[in-house]
Amino acid sequence: KLAAFKGAHSGVPVFLPGFENDEGVVEMGPFRIFWKLAPHAPLPGELPPHVISWVEAEGESLYLPADAALDVPVHEAFLNGGKACMGIWNSMYLSRPETRCLMHRAAHKNYVYHMPACQDDKSGIWRKCRNNLQRYPDELRDIVIMDRYPYVI
């Protein structure tokens, strides 16, 4: 897959951390990426570790926990008291009170993905997210749903 991507997008830098280290920093021009391996969110079957990252560029920062497990101490240790300009989260983070709190501690503006608006929600993801937004409106009032792809922040 990586070779196909590189072939289709020659000249685009690709960040793919090696798994020989558990964490690292990559600098590419004006970008700095701090990353750490973390357990992947539990799903059936074996999954490789997931990369959580903090990206800095031109005075902006982005926290990207993405599909990492809902393990608040892992995220807090990685953040080390920092608060990013933006965070991009998997919609599963809306389901637990401790991860809803984490979202606000981790970033000033939070975006949730895996949320395409579709009529046929076989996975139930959209329904679960909508229910969480209705149940916890005060906690989730500042959350932005990424309901189309590509999505521009």
In terms of residues, how long is the chain?
153
Alpha carbon distance 83, 1 (integer Å)? 33
Query: Cβ(129)–Cβ(91) under 8 Å?
Result: yes
pLDDT in tens, the chain (153 residues): 677 877 888 877 666 666 677 888 988 888 899 999 888 887 656 777 888 999 999 999 999 998 888 889 999 999 999 999 999 998 888 889 999 999 999 999 999 986 666 666 677 777 888 889 899 999 998 899 887 777 888
pLDDT of residue 5: 76
Question: Full-prediction pTM beyond 0.75?
Answer: yes
Distances (CA, A) of 74 to 9, 26, 45, 102, 104: 34, 20, 22, 11, 16
